[in-house]
Structure 1
Amino acid sequence: MIVFLAAGTAKLFGAAEMVAAFDNIGAGQWLRYFVGVLELAGVVGLLVPRLVGLAALGLAALMIGAMITNLVIDDFSLLALVLLLLSVTVAWGRRNGVAALLRPATTG
């Protein structure tokens, strides 16, 4: 959680290494802000017991995107892989809670 908090904050406050990283990606700085907001939203979700599984699922999706991006620009990130595995583990452990949150939205 602390890693996502630090990374999201660094992205939103324009840390030089984050600006450079997103310049290297070539998608524009809007993506840096978007990812930063999603990371901080994930951290908040991890603090709310009812939302932990859903937040972990969202953070796992972010890490999949990060890994794909890193592979495309030829810069493998072990940290992204570790965070993906941790997020998936938490989401899997809370899968019943995620299902309960999604069920009312899908039943009519």
Structure 2
Amino acid sequence: MLKIITYILALVFIASGAAKLAGLEFEIQAFTRWGYPIEFMYFTGLAEVAGGLALVFNILKKYAAIGLSLVMVGAMGTHILHHEWPMLAIALVIFVLSVLLTKDLWRAAPASVASNEATTDI
């Protein structure tokens, strides 16, 4: 089950981040509507793509899961502030899956293993 959640989240974040990095019109409109600078859209897209790739290739996977969970906290906050309830529901599901993945990854290995992850978990 952990692998399924990992790959679903990786796909979601890579696709979402790629849309931001490509500067797709709907992403530009959304970030403009929310009052965020376009540079923040590109930063968020980069974080999402990097995090998604880290999940797939096991590069600092535990830290990527934490980072992606935090990205979703920001997304949920944005949707709450702008009363975008359907988008909030989607963000909440992605957030819960991200937190479950984070919990399982950090529970699965002792702290000493997590610190060496970049060299041993590839």
TM-score (norm. length: structure 1)? 0.86
Unmatched segments (≥5 aa) in structure 1? 104-108
1:26 to 35, 42, 45: 35
| Deviation at residue 52 of structure 1 after TM alignment | 2.0
Number of aligned residues? 103
Q: Deviations over 1:38-96 (max 9, x none)?
A: 00110121023352221111100000010011111111321111110011001000114
Say whether 1:92 aligns with 2:96. no
- The answer as to whether partners of 2:48 and 2:68 remain within 8 angstroms in 1 is yes
If asked which structure has higher relative contact order (CA below 8 Å, sep 6+), I would say 2
Q: Deviations over 1:4-54 (max 9, x none)?
A: 111100001011110000001102101100000000110121023352221
TM-score (norm. length: structure 2)? 0.76
Q: For 1:98 and 1:31, how far apart are their aligned partners in 2?
A: 35
Unmatched segments (≥5 aa) in structure 2? 1-9, 117-122
2:80 is matched with which residue?
A: 71
Change (3 A) 1:83 1:98: farther
- Alignment partner of 1:14: what SS? coil
What's the C-alpha RMSD, in Å, of the aligned pairs?
1.8
Question: AA paired with 1:20?
Answer: Q
Change (3 A) 1:81 1:19: same
